[in-house]
A and B are shown apart, each in its own frame.
Chain A
């Protein structure tokens, strides 16, 4: 199918209703980076959102807020979500919610339920996968089409489950960090170069180490490595670790601690020349705030 034929199908793509060969051709065309079609698609999605918002009317719901409020960090209304807010309680909450909605993940959690640490870790990984699916609209659209075919959906879930199990198997180091009383988590969200990637940094000052776990990163080209950064309020980006993921895109990497006494604004991963650089120069793949 050529550009004009696919352009005619963009309203159906915006609704996620394409199927069969048209869906495959559209996915391939958009993956090639057609700016005109991307812009049209955005305009159709905006129109659909306006339709949905208009149908409901803007307005509050204290019921929704009550459900949401219990998940937020306790304290002042304008409190920053500090790293200390993150660990077990919220993780347990996420794991519970995800468990309700996805039977297969419940099965994964049940298999690991003998150990609390596996429960914590599984919650985090399940949450990362949830974030992966939600973050990137193109991936969601692709998933939506795949999911309409039961067999494809089953394959997809089995793949995710295999990734989960693999990550749990290699997470001993990260587990130690997570179990420390002063463990703090920084979840790294995917950016444009790797929309399917996810990352988690566990910082444990008492054990004098920090550990990074990533999944879904593309294999770096020859002569390149990924570099983890601490981004401080005063120091700017500070080199934290260098690594190359496995062929599956996973890595568990020991890192330096964030600079002492520095207010940590974010942590990020960029693609840099092998051997690393002192300040980031390449594309950013993952980023997250404490």
Chain B
């Protein structure tokens, strides 16, 4: 699979190629999502090196399980984000039981998948506009819920808000976000 083709392969086509054992397609998936995977994990874990390890774990899982990816259950992006959030939270819990932090900061210099980035710039703009349309209070509680390992009750305790307010803000924020993304496709 070539990065230079006029029409970049869809995420689903990339995953199909990975299922066939194509390592270049795995590299392409990394160029599309590696940074986002590491960013989510870093937000959860607060450590870049751990986050890159989690991102690599997720892509390794994608390599092994590409054949059973089921598009009807969600997009490739949603699949990968679900995996990384779950793995990062698992690691956070494991870390809570062990004081075992590493410090290995790293900066990416790999060439980006430029065509994909250009094609997705508009998509990102729409998503960011939908996020910007949220009230600050809604965005804050939504991000706290997404990037932490907290239940709604724990969020209420952490923020000092009534549980009902936490629930209504999360609900309102996510409904607005979903509505803002309608028609975007994936």
- A interface with B by C-beta (< 8 Å): 8-9, 11-12, 14-15, 17-20, 42-65, 67-68, 71-73, 76-82, 97, 101-103, 131, 133-135, 137, 140, 144-145, 147-148, 187, 189-191, 266, 287-289
A147–B106 Cα distance when bound, in Å, is: 31
Query: Given the interface contacts A51-B177, A144-B89, A287-B68, does A58 sit within 8 Å of B117 by beta carbon?
Result: yes
Residues of A with C-beta under 8 A to B184: 50
B9-30 interface bits toward A, Cβ cutoff 8 Å, 1 = contact, 0 = none: 0000000000111111011001
**Interface residue from B80, B89, B131, B152 paired with A18 (Cβ < 8 Å):** B152
The A contact surface, by secondary structure, is helix
Chain B interface size band reads: 35 or more
A190–B64 Cα distance when bound, in Å, is: 12
Residues of A with C-beta under 8 A to B154: 148
Cβ-defined contact, A17 with B120, below 8 A: no
A163–B41 Cα distance when bound, in Å, is: 30
Asked if B74 is at the interface of the complex by the 8 Å CB criterion, the answer is yes
Residues of A with C-beta under 8 A to B124: 53-54, 57-58
Cβ-defined contact, A77 with B23, below 8 A: yes
**Interface residue from A50, A77, A144 paired with B181 (Cβ < 8 Å):** A50
Q: Return 16 A-B CB contacts under 8 Å, by A number.
A: A12-B145, A15-B145, A44-B178, A45-B74, A48-B78, A49-B74, A50-B77, A52-B36, A52-B40, A54-B128, A60-B110, A72-B63, A78-B24, A134-B61, A187-B64, A190-B68
Identity of the chain B residue whose Cβ is nearest the Cβ of A45 in the assembled complex:
B78
Cβ-defined contact, B113 with A58, below 8 A: yes
Cβ-defined contact, B26 with A72, below 8 A: yes
**Interface residue from A42, A44, A49 paired with B77 (Cβ < 8 Å):** A49
**Interface residue from A54, A60, A101, A287 paired with B31 (Cβ < 8 Å):** A60
Residues of B with C-beta under 8 A to A102: 94
Identity of the chain B residue whose Cβ is nearest the Cβ of A138 in the assembled complex:
B73
Residues of A with C-beta under 8 A to B173: 11
Cβ-defined contact, B77 with A11, below 8 A: no
A49–B82 Cα distance when bound, in Å, is: 8
Cβ-defined contact, B131 with A54, below 8 A: yes
Identity of the chain B residue whose Cβ is nearest the Cβ of A82 in the assembled complex:
B21
- For window 1-58 of B, CB contacts with A under 8 Å fall at 19-24, 26-27, 30-40, 43, 52-53, 55-57
Cβ-defined contact, B82 with A12, below 8 A: no
Query: Given the interface contacts A46-B74, A67-B53, does A59 sit within 8 Å of B112 by beta carbon?
Result: yes
A4–B171 Cα distance when bound, in Å, is: 14
Cβ-defined contact, B37 with A135, below 8 A: no
Cβ-defined contact, B110 with A62, below 8 A: yes
**Interface residue from A20, A48, A72, A144 paired with B86 (Cβ < 8 Å):** A144
